[in-house]
Amino acid sequence: MEEQLREMLVAYGRRLVESGLVQGTWGNISVRLDERYMLTTPSGLDYMRLTPGDMVKVEISTLEYEGAIRPTSEKGLHAAIYQGRSDVGAVIHTHAKYCSVFAAARKDMPVLEDFRSIFGDVIRLAPYALAGSKALMKNTAAALGDNFGAIMASHGMVACGRDLEEAFENCVRMEENGRRQLL
């Protein structure tokens, strides 16, 4: 199962690039391996060149990781979501264009009727905190609550789901909601 999840992280990383939801190496993906571990994308490596062996196994409670490849600097953000939400099996963080407009404006994102069954009436804004910080972890997990997406002030967005497919679709839905709100 672990090898299959590593392959899926590679595939969804490429899908994020191909769909324009990430630029360069910005953003990160994780999947819950079990109650103790998650697999994350590595720090600073090109999504189009990643291999299953580049994915990093991280202990959710301690953030300790296996191997020489460093995990994403946002590993704590992913871990905080998994610790607070047993229903979440995958997390995606991006700086997608339209969601980032709401992040830069430091505004909650109103939700269109089409997406309310997933996100409710509003996708909440997490107060600003430095990237990779404990404050960012806490603020984002709190803004997420029991929703499947949150905007991170002056930073980007996070989407989650029961699995990678659902997390990716929720990421796409959030960006589409933002696009339609702004246009």
Could you list the active site residues?
Answer: 74
51: Cα separation from own chain's centroid: 19
Residues 6+ apart with CB under 8 A from 164: 5, 8, 9, 12, 29, 31, 89, 90
- Quickly list H helices, 1-111: 2-18, 75-84, 97-105
Contact 151, 124 (CB under 8 A): yes
Burial class (CB in 10 A: 0-12, 13-18, 19+), 80: buried
- What is the torsional sign of CA 59, 137, 114, 20? negative
* 107: enclosing H helix or E strand: none
Residue type, position 46, single letter: D
